[in-house]
Amino acid sequence: MPFSIDQFRLDGKVAIVTGAGGRGNSIGRAYATGLAAAGAAIVVADINLAGAQAIADEIIAAGGRAIAAGVDITQDDQVAAMAAAAQDAFGGVDILVNNAALMLELGQLNVAEVPFDQWDKIMAVNVTGALRCAQAVIPSMRARGGGRIINQVSGGAFPAVSIYGVSKLALTGLTTTMAKQLGRDGITANAIAPGNVTSEAGAKLVPEGSPFAQYLAMSVCTRASGAPDELVGALLLLCSQAGAWITGQTLHVDGGWVLRP
C-alpha cells in the first residue's frame, strides 16, 4: 500500500487512556486530546472521575467523542466496568494507552528500607494494573481484528536507579511479552519512554534549577525538557496504521537523554 498521510488518522477507532484526568497539563490529557484530534473516540479513564470528566468535556467541546470512566486499575471489577463502558458507548476498544502510574507519590524510596506494602502497591499500579487493563480489552481487540497497546514507561528505567524505575523496567518487559504473544492476533504492543516532561507532576519531580535538571541540561543531545504535547506524535505513530509494522519496541522521546543502538 502506498504511504498516505491519512494512515495517521484514527477515524472509527476507540481508545482508552488511563490516568488521563490527573493534574493540570498532564501527559494523560495530551494523549487523550491528541488521539481525539486524530479522530478516535476516547474513554478518559482516571481514579479521579471529576478530572476525567473535565477532559472528556474538553474533547466534546472541540467536536470529538468522549466519555469519562472512574477507575482504580488495581481493582478487577472497576477495570471490567471501564471496558464495558467503552463497549456500550462506542462498540469496543482498538487502542489501550496504559498511562496511569504512581510517580510523584513515591518520593525517595530506598531499597534498603522500602516497606513491602508500598512496594506491592507500586507494582500493583505501575505493572499489574497495565496487565489488568490489557486483559480486559484484548477480547474486544481480537473481535475487531486487532489493536494497539501502548505502555507508558520512562527514561528513568534505562538504567533503573529508583523503585519507580524498577517498576517501569518491569513494564518494558511486559511490553515485549505482550508483543510476542499477541502479535498473531493483530495486536501490537509498544512503549513510550519520556524524558523530563514539563507537566505539573514533572515540574514538581524535577524543579527548574535542581541538580538533576542541571545534569540533564548538560547531558541530553538537544533540550533537557519537553511539553506533554511533544509525546503525542510518537503515540499517533504507534496507534495508527502508519505504525502497524512496529511492535515490541520502546520509543524514547527525551531529546536524546537515553541513547540506545
Residues with catalytic roles: 164
- Find where cell 520512562 sits: 154
CB 201 within 8 A of CB 48: no
Instruction: State phi, psi for 251 to the nearest 5 degrees.
Output: -100, 115
Phi, psi of 150 (to 5 degrees): -125, 120
Give kind and range of the element (H or E) at residue 142: helix 129-143
Q: What would the grid cell of residue 124 be?
A: 500493583
Q: Are 42 and 15 in contact (CB under 8 A)?
A: yes
Dump strand ranges (E) for 142-211. 147-152, 187-194
| Rounded Cα gap, residues 152 and 209, in angstroms | 26
Whole-angstrom Cα distance, residue 129 to residue 74? Answer: 5
Return the residue matching grid coordinates 537523554: 257
Kindly write down the DSSP assignment for every residue of 21-69, as one continuous string.
Answer: S-SSS-HHHHHHHHHHHTT-EEEEEES-HHHHHHHHHHHHHTT--EEEE
